[in-house]
Chains A and B, each alone.
Chain A
């Protein structure tokens, strides 16, 4: 019985077996070629029937072919090169047409999207910690995302750089929290000083970095004021000077950077303490010490010049000096 299922194996046709009295003769003749199948899988025999069985010899062609196949280069080529070439050719032929390439690309893209858009990878909202309302609005503005978005499409690194690039932001960490939340932790810069330039009034933090522009000094009257070109690069020194001059109380108006080199401490009544380039705090301390003892700054002094440490100088106001001259003359005359 042949199976119902179709098969690709070659059907071997055999001559009809002999029956009856002839069958006995047939069985005795084992050498008979009639019992051989007409079609053999080792097909060489089909063409080589004439060769005598007792005297086997390879044909010239098969001999040459075998020698050729035993040559190392050829053998390598056939065993490795040919399959590789065949596969490459098949792939090349298949993808020769634009349509199939497109189809493959689309297929890959589809799979990619379907994986990326699984709910496990989706980000639904952005949470910003450590920023004031104004700043978090700014952050939402510079990182425009329309949620929900797949976490594969988020470039967290780049987002962090963008956020850190904002002026009021000192540092920021951006990560995707489980639960589909984009967590942004921000450390804001704290303004510590007001810097007035010719164009504008700015807030600076303790390292001199720009924090914000303000319209008026009045809004931040609690912060000390500095002015002058290049003052923002020496904010730390200015803060030190301000801390030292705390005993002057409200008399201090601010610090002016002179020639991008040194500071002038400006007090009310037009008084000015000119501090040297180096060791300015020390010089100010000397002035304050004199002030403590002799109330120097309470007097009619216009300028205390500490630029030369060996030779502190004071300049009196014009009225005071005239007064002094008069007094001197009077005294001289009086004697």
Chain B
């Protein structure tokens, strides 16, 4: 089971390398309310500016967005594929439009999705080094020595990132390779999701004649793009309020250390409005977008909104509702979502973090007055986050709703080291003495 996963993840890494060589890769954010697709072109690694400062693009100049398209999502609920045909059609639509804009054929795609009950595990392991020096093989050995918990059948590991290395008594090492010591310890963050969800999404992408070059959790990737560098370093939580789910990820020392998701999002707010006012979902969505809010003031009682109708009944078709009423419908649901997020953050021990910055992003974070409400529920340090600016991104795709798509492009350009980026140590291949001999040669000469 573990080696299967290891092999398939390595195959995806291989695919990503091929895509890099070809220079074009597609980014697919499969969300519950929209599916967005970016086409990236890689022109080599980004160079630092002449005075060796990072520059305005934060070093993310190695790629350029040459195609972008968004389509309404179909057949995805709570970030999981529920109707495969519909999802496939939606992916096809987005991809075709993006390809058309980029004017190039894309064969490799990196996808992210939010749902499927992500669950975080913290693993650790310690091994005594064979030599004095920490080599790549030693890192692989210590990663493999991690005691994997029983995460249940029907679950799959999505991310397994070494977060922290400790060499003897020195902890907090980012990269221990080449250093001297006696024993090496590692802390690893592992994220598991429902295997069925992954399989469904992989299948959808395969049916569109595409090769999957990587898959990521959208909580993770939106954290990459919405959190600025010092927030990632000092510790922050990113809350991506999507259509069907609200994902939570906590970052520390530039690594994700926790991720979870609340199966409630903007679509539920829309549904509440739809039910409360008796209007179709599309109308409810429009009312929410244009007139929504979470803080009612006196003026809102006098602000009447036409909610319309299509029945032919004059009285029914000319209904109005005051903005205060609308806020009255929206606020409890938003509060509920934020309370649920609070619970997840508490479960993760967020209050013990040195820095308790919270960043709200995702399409749902555009509700007016949300930051004020979130400050009350989540903590004092709340801000609204937008994705990092990347080259060539159209203006229409720079909103907070695209933070996971942008984050996924950053992830595609510079993926973090995962467990499967290191070779499995030889002792798991005890049955292959020849390969072992070859490895011994390679390690020693």
Contact = CB atoms under 8 A, between A and B. Distances in A.
A58 B92 contact: yes
B271 to A, nearest CB: 18
B209 to A, nearest CB: 7
A70 B104 contact: yes
Contacts of A70: 99, 103-105
Contacts, number: 31
Nearest to A66: B96
B274 to A, nearest CB: 16
A71 B72 CA distance: 27
Contacts of B103: 70
B30 to A, nearest CB: 15
Contact of A55 (B72, B95, B96, B99): B72
B74 interface: yes
A26 B93 CA distance: 33
A55 B92 contact: no
Contacts of A62: 96
B109 to A, nearest CB: 12
Interface residues on chain B, size class: 10 to 19
Contacts of A79: none
A66 B100 contact: yes
Nearest to B104: A70
Interface string A47-78: 00000000111101011101100111000000
B93 A56 contact: yes
Interface string B170-214: 000000000000000000000000000000000000001100000
Given A55-B72, A67-B209, A60 B105 contact: no
A60 B104 CA distance: 18
B209 A64 contact: yes
A63 B96 contact: yes
B90 interface: yes
A57 B90 contact: yes
Given A66-B99, A67-B99, A70-B99, A57 B105 contact: no
Nearest to A58: B96
A64 B96 CA distance: 9
A261 B58 CA distance: 100
Contacts of B209: 64, 67
A63 B106 CA distance: 12
Interface of A: 55-58, 60, 62-64, 66-67, 70-72
29 contacts: A55-B74, A56-B93, A57-B89, A57-B90, A57-B92, A57-B93, A58-B92, A58-B93, A58-B96, A60-B92, A62-B96, A63-B92, A63-B95, A63-B96, A63-B208, A64-B209, A66-B96, A66-B99, A66-B100, A67-B96, A67-B99, A67-B105, A67-B209, A70-B99, A70-B103, A70-B104, A70-B105, A71-B105, A72-B105
